[in-house]
Amino acid sequence: MKQDKQAVRNKSNRRSGFTLVELLMVVCILGILYAGARLVFTGQDNEARITTTRGSIATIEQAVQIFAMKHNGKLPETLEELTAGTDDAPGLLKEGAITDSWGTPFGYVKTGKKFKITSAGPDCEMGSADDITN
């Protein structure tokens, strides 16, 4: 009877923790999951910035049109004019609204009664393939 109790005790003592191989497998699996999740979320971050920048361009476009209505059809010379307020009224846009999601100032070009607003896009360089415009 004493030998049976000793055998049971020895069996339970041998298998009370994880082996090194089991721990390494768990760490490897977690690493693979982390790498996959990082790839997925990195792409989503860029898409979210592009969508936000497109929305900002639309907002600036509306502010330019409101500016033109208030000033008898005259378009602003720069986007900074849209942020300048007076004692009676605030500016049409906040100062941070004239930069894109990557922190680069929007480009603004007016030709006659038309205008173009451009973001440099993810690479932060104007004139490249990833530019976003109205």
pLDDT at 116: 92
Which residue, 118, 124, 122, 92, is CA-closest to 106?
118
Is residue 49's pLDDT more than 60?
yes
Whether residue 100 contacts residue 123, with contact meaning beta carbons closer than 8 Å, is answered with no
Is residue 6 in some structural domain? Answer: no
Using one digit for the tens of pLDDT, what is the confidence trace for 72-118? 889 988 888 888 877 677 778 887 788 888 889 999 998 888 899 99
Is residue 10 in some structural domain? Answer: no
Please give the average per-residue pLDDT across 40-60, as a whole number: 82
Is residue 31's pLDDT more than 70?
yes
Comparing 32 with 101, the larger pLDDT belongs to 101
Spell out the SS3 assignment of the chain.
CHHHHHHHHHHHHHCCCCCHHHHHHHHHHHHHHHHHHHHHHHHHHHHHHHHHHHHHHHHHHHHHHHHHHHCCCCCCCCCHHHHCCCCCCCCCCCHHHHECCCCCECEEEEECCEEEEEECCCCCCCCCCCCEEC
pLDDT at 9: 62
Is residue 128 in some structural domain? Answer: yes
Centroid of chain to Cα 22? 38
Confidence of residue 43 (pLDDT cuts 50, 70, 90): low
Please give the average per-residue pLDDT across 50-79, as a whole number: 87
Using one digit for the tens of pLDDT, what is the confidence trace for 11-30? 555 556 777 777 777 887 88
Is residue 1 in some structural domain? Answer: no
Is residue 33 in some structural domain? Answer: yes
Residue with tokens 């896009």: 121
Which domain range does residue 62 map to? 19-133
With 0-12 / 13-18 / 19 or more C-beta atoms within 10 angstroms meaning exposed / middle / buried, residue 10 is exposed
What's the total number of domains in the chain? Answer: 1
Question: In the chain, what is the greatest distance between 2 CA atoms, to the nearest angstrom?
Answer: 105
Residue with tokens 């999740």: 37
Is residue 11 in some structural domain? Answer: no
Is residue 68 in some structural domain? Answer: yes
The domain that holds 39 is classified in CATH as 3.30.700.10
Is residue 5 in some structural domain? Answer: no
